[in-house]
Amino acid sequence: MKICMKCKRAFEDKKKVCDFCGEPLIEIRETDGVKKERIKKNPIVFAVAGIAIALMVGLGIGSLTMKQLVTGKNEKSAVQSVETDEENVLGEVKKEKGVSIEDEEEETDEDVVPEIKVGETWTVDGLWKVTINSVTETEERYTGISYGGEKNPEAVYIVDYTYENLGYEDDYSKGLLIRLEGYCSQIVDSDGEMGYEYDLPKLTSPDYVPVGARMTAQVAIGVKHKGTFSISYEDNVEEEEEEYSTKVYRAKFICEVKE
């Protein structure tokens, strides 16, 4: 995981600069940080764990004969035994903190990405809800010189969608903004080719909405192959309880195209 020290946002390892301010990102080993933080918060348990590990290491080495130490035949098994004992001690620390192994797995496992069809609503409690109202094909093409007009799509679809701010706030914007064609999204057409935003006039562009407000916007999508396509959306939200900590929310919108 990488962190922007200016915006206090977290990004994936492949990112090099912050998408919001352009500052270089600093790499942080999140897993190690979590384990160290849990043990650090309970010094008594940490001390007990250290003594237990030291005793186990001493007993493990003491049980080896001089011949075994010289030949090193059981060196690998001794190390494995110590590592197993250390895991057991860390397990006791987690129990002392009230954190079960099952809970930790739930914290680290990737959430199942919900698939949202046209007319269905993706709701994230306390943050937002998003509904794709319709997907319609258009014969209109942009004739000017632009990012979208330079491409030659097989089909162009207009996606009409509504999003509502259920409580999303941050220090860097005026509210919630959901862009289904932006850097948070990936568009894949019916044949697995990547789609893209297509520049068309007279569409309502998405804008920031405050808490309690909603907006209906449109986006034109260009694809190389006609038919049903998908929009995978991902957004990072800063968590209030812990500094520099973010949670990722994902959804896959299935944009069905009726023949």
State mean pLDDT over 36-61: 49
Helical H segments across 63-201, by residue range: 66-71, 75-97, 101-108
Question: What's the pLDDT tens digit per position in 190-213?
Answer: 999 999 999 998 999 999 999 999
pTM score, two decimals? 0.57
**Domains in the chain, number:** 2
Q: Are 258 and 121 in contact (CB under 8 A)?
A: no
> Dihedrals φ, ψ of 83, to 5°?
-65, -40
Q: What is the DSSP letter of 144?
A: S
Q: Are 233 and 95 in contact (CB under 8 A)?
A: no
Question: What's the pLDDT tens digit per position in 102-130?
Answer: 444 454 445 689 999 999 999 999 999 99
Helix (H, G, I), strand (E, B) or coil at 258: coil
Residues 120 and 153 in one domain: yes
Residues 71 and 51 in one domain: yes
**Pair of tokens at residue 106:** 């739930």
Q: Who's near 195: CB < 8 A, 6+ residues apart?
A: 187, 188, 189, 221, 222, 223, 224, 229
Cα separation, 128 vs 7, in Å, equals 22
Question: What's the pLDDT tens digit per position in 76-106?
Answer: 554 455 455 555 645 554 555 454 444 444 5
Between 244 and 146, residue with greater pLDDT: 244
Q: Which among 226, 229, 254, 218 is positioned nearest to 155, based on CA atoms?
A: 226
Query: Which pLDDT score, from 0 to 100, does residue 64 have?
Result: 44
Residues 119 and 79 in one domain: no
Please give the radius of gyration of the chain, using alpha carbons only, rounded to the nearest integer. Answer: 26
Percent of the chain whose predicted confidence (pLDDT) is above 90: 42
Residues 93 and 128 in one domain: no
Domain range spanning residue 236?
115-255
Percent of the chain whose predicted confidence (pLDDT) is above 70: 63
Q: Are 35 and 90 in contact (CB under 8 A)?
A: yes
The answer to whether residue 204 sits within a structural domain is: yes
The answer to whether residue 29 sits within a structural domain is: no
Query: Which pLDDT score, from 0 to 100, does residue 87 have?
Result: 59
Q: Which of 50, 82, 108 is the last residue of a domain?
A: 108
**Pair of tokens at residue 69:** 């130490």
The answer to whether residue 27 sits within a structural domain is: no
Quote the distance between the C-alpha of residue 8 and its chain's center.
Answer: 15
Q: Are 8 and 243 in contact (CB under 8 A)?
A: yes
